Chain A
Amino acid sequence: MSDVFSEAASWLSDGSHWSGVDGVPHRLVEHVAYTALTVGIAAAIALPLGLWIGHTGRFRGLAVALTGALRALPTLGVLTWMVLWQGVGLTPATVALVVLAVPPLLAGAYSGLESVDRATIDAARAIGMTEWQILIKVEIPLALDLILGGVRSAVLQVVATATIAAYIGLGGLGRYLIDGIAVRDYAQMLSGSIVIVVLALVLDGLFALVQRRTAHP
């Protein structure tokens, strides 16, 4: 056991693994950029939709069924199918990752708004707020913790899944794993794994801090 971890330690401390296109910093930036792009697109679709569903209460049953069904889809199957259908490139991977990021974002937004006390919303309506003001000034601030919880979950799922996307030729930190599997280079695989795990933990920690900041008693 100590053998493989000391091999990984020497892989990670080797300076040649920290520069160039195949270096850790470049792969890390790629990985974070894919994640940001994907979650950004998914948020632009899912958040307005989720807020609308939560505010009006319409299509709630459909949203619950849809998020459940999307979660059952195996990531790897969607990725490989998208590539054979669309060809290799950034687009099929992005589409597949967006599909995966939508359910947690949607669920966070509509369940966040649902958690807001009806009496509070009625009070806001009674003092003459428009529906738009109620959404922006009352519902979103009160639901922010759950909405951010959805974003946190989406980011972590995409960080994990972008790893698998290296299998279909995408860059990012998954390259160390997929390339390592091909040539049975366990030190490289283990080192890449450690970097990804640390990235996930750091991102999760950042979200925990932001959520604590925005939380209200």
Chain B
Amino acid sequence: MRWLSENFPYVRGLLWQHAWLSILPIVIGLAVAVPVGWWASRHRRWRGLILGFGGLVYTLPSLPLLIVLPGLLGTSFLDPINVVVVLSAYAAALLVRTATDAFSSVPEVVIESARAAGYSRWQQVVGVELPLAGPVLLAGLRVASVSTVSLVTVGALIGVSNLGALFTDGFQRGFNTEIVIGVVGVVGLALALDLLWLGLARLAMPWRVRGAA
């Protein structure tokens, strides 16, 4: 505890770095997965291919991917961009299946009713399909969020600073307290982001989340 209070600015800096290295990939992954998943749910022929590709990306181990990527992108080895790209790819791969399932679960008859009521194509998607797919999307987002926060730590092995640096530093110095503070920080951040998504979902979908909780 004394170590924490003496090094508080350092830990706080790592926490902020960790937070944005987590939030950015989660948001990018969601932004990619929702339209792709919607498309896959409407085009049966593409569905298998898209879901198969997502599964393949998710199979690739993270540390090797972090090392291969600079060679492919031409980025510097230490660039945090590599971490963002790899984790965005994982989040998108995980969420594209959820999004496809979510949009597929919207009953055809509901979409037809919306069309009959004079909704334009765009209004159907945004006003009817997306809200109905919302709760399933939220469930997937929560899983992707937890695993992203945990995976960011791997970046510390190649020198990208985040809470994982407390693991490598604590390990080299044989100082367990630092590692435990890191684990608590990561789990705490995962929990805080989970509450953030739940809160945002409650604002966006007041009808459903209240009933579910």
Q: Which residues of A contact B (CB under 8 A)?
A: 1, 4-5, 8, 68, 71-81, 83-85, 156, 159-161, 163-164, 167-168, 174, 177-178, 180-181, 186, 189-190, 192-194, 196-197, 200-201, 204
Contact = CB atoms under 8 A, between A and B. Distances in A.
Nearest to B189: A72
B171 A168 contact: yes
A74 B63 contact: no
Main secondary structure of the interface of A (DSSP, over half): helix
Interface in B71-117: 71-72, 74, 77
Contacts of A4: 71
Interface string B143-186: 10011011001101111000110111011001110011011001
Contacts of B156: 76
A74 B188 CA distance: 11
Contact of A84 (B71, B170, B186, B191): B170
A11 to B, nearest CB: 13
Q: How large is the interface on B (under 10, 10 to 19, 20 to 34, 35 or more residues)?
A: 35 or more
A196 B68 CA distance: 11
Contact of B187 (A73, A181, A193): A73
A44 to B, nearest CB: 24
6 contacts: A1-B74, A72-B186, A73-B186, A83-B171, A190-B68, A201-B56
Contacts of B187: 72-74
B63 A80 contact: no
B65 interface: yes
Contacts of A73: 150, 183, 186-187
Contacts of B9: none
A186 B182 CA distance: 29
B59 A74 contact: no
A95 to B, nearest CB: 15
Contacts of B77: 186
A76 B164 contact: yes
B190 interface: yes
B17 interface: no
B72 A1 contact: yes
A200 B61 contact: yes
Nearest to A207: B59
Contact of A196 (B64, B150, B163, B168): B64
A163 B61 contact: yes
A74 B153 CA distance: 7
Contact of B167 (A80, A177, A192): A80
